Amino acid sequence: MPIKSPAFWEKDNSVASKLLMPFGKLYAFICGRRMKKAKAYHAKIPVICVGNLVMGGVGKTPLAVSIAEYFKMNGMRPVFLTRGYGGGLKRCLVDLDKHTAKDVGDEAMILARVAPTVVNADRAKGAAFAEKIGAEVIIMDDGFQNPKLEKDLSFAVFDGRYGCGNGKVFPAGPLREPLADGLARANAFIVVGKDLSDVKSKIETDFPDLPFAAVHIEQDQRIIQQLLGKKLFAFAGIGFPAKFFDMLKDYGCDVVGTQAFSDHYPYTDDDLNKLAETARAENAVLVTTAKDAVRVPKRFLSDVRVVEAFTVWDTPDVLCALLSRFLKKKG
């Protein structure tokens, strides 16, 4: 079951982080050796990776969706490739009429609403299957540290509020690998939301020529308007639940209570019964994210309002320049 990240991952020079740094160095060494030793599969079609260097959610899935929409608008057939985190199936082509989040994970369920989605922990085999079903471009949701599939374009994604945390490698901090190692393989870095952590300037100090893009997440205003004037009890099991709660408040919603769960949390009937009971006591409506909704037991969905979100590129010229150059190169 997913766990919440420890608080010391956000603190500089904490005792816990210092004690765990030797293990972080070992983790980084193992990760680096794995990257060097693996033989990568070279797909016959373009492969784009939307990944991150920090453990936990940063908004990769909405970004992957927006990139897929770009290719669809340009007449190409994108196919998503994901490992299906949180799902029980090791490999499949997602079928929304058949599969649930318990089968393929919440992210795959979101992606499959936009384009064909292949679930396979073995990214090389997954890419080969995507080619067989007619993909013209593969978009990886995560997999930045997976060396078995060669990427043609890699985005390193950061949450503007969290940044790199304390900048230490797991378990001393939230980094999946040393920051410099990861950025050296990136073609661009993206900051999601307001850059409260100042991660942009920190990265540009050492990587001044690495292209930068800024995006933010917006909510479906039709749904927001329907929620205004109602008491809301919000719950979320995403990378940063507080961002969702704060967003509702920023839009003027009357949020009378919140409940945060760990990222990818598998909701049970008991969880929803308790949430419903708490909401009734406040005379409030339950509200959550689209990513959470695919993990909510179906019989409870009629009592939960779902807020859909989408990515807005604050620097669309950067995205278009990268993807257009990339397509010309591959074409």
Give pLDDT tens digits for 208-227: 999 999 999 999 999 999 99
Helix H or strand E encompassing 24: helix 15-37
pTM, rounded to two decimals:
0.93
* pLDDT score, position 239: 85
Of 21-30, 251-260, 315-324, the one with minimum mean pLDDT is 315-324
Give me the numbers of helices (H) and strands (E) for the chain, helices first please.
12, 13
| Model confidence band, residue 5 (pLDDT cutoffs 50, 70, 90) | confident
* pLDDT score, position 330: 54
- Give the rounded percent of residues in the chain with a pLDDT score beyond 90: 89
103-120 confidence digits (pLDDT tens): 999 999 999 999 999 999
| Model confidence band, residue 27 (pLDDT cutoffs 50, 70, 90) | very high
List CB contacts of 34: < 8 A, sequence separation 6 or more.
147
Domains of the chain in start order, with CATH, are 34-216+312-330 (3.40.50.300), 221-307 (3.40.50.2300)
- Mean pLDDT of the chain, nearest integer: 94
User: Which residue, among 187, 177, 152, has the nearest Cα to 36 in the 3D structure?
Assistant: 177
Instruction: Work out whether strand 137-141 and strand 78-82 pair parallel, antiparallel, or are unpaired.
Output: parallel
Tokens of 217: 């997440």
